[in-house]
Amino acid sequence: DAMVIQNPRYQVTQFGKPVTLSCSQTLNHNVMYWYQQKSSQAPKLLFHYYDKDFNNEADTPDNFQSRRPNTSFCFLDIRSPGLGDAAMYLCATSRGLVGPRGQFFGPGTRLTVL
Site residues (vs another protein, CB under 8 A): 4, 6, 40-43, 45, 48, 55, 57, 90, 92, 97-98, 100-108, 110
Q: Within a 10 A sphere around the Cβ of 51, how many other Cβ atoms?
A: 10
Cα gap 32→28, rounded to integer Å: 10
Q: How far is the CB of 7 from another protein (least distance, A)?
A: 13
Residue (of 95, 111, 114) closest to 46 by Cα position: 111
Query: Which contacts (CB < 8 Å, 24+ apart) does range 48-51 have?
Result: 49/74, 50/97
Nearer to another protein, 83 or 98 (CB): 98
Nearer to another protein, 2 or 80 (CB): 2
Could you tell me if 76 and 46 are in contact, meaning their C-beta atoms sit under 8 angstroms apart?
A: yes
Residue (of 24, 45, 19) closest to 33 by Cα position: 45
Q: How far is the CB of 47 from another protein (least distance, A)?
A: 10
Q: How far is the CB of 96 from another protein (least distance, A)?
A: 9
Nearer to another protein, 16 or 102 (CB): 102
Q: How far is the CB of 109 from another protein (least distance, A)?
A: 10
Nearer to another protein, 79 or 113 (CB): 113
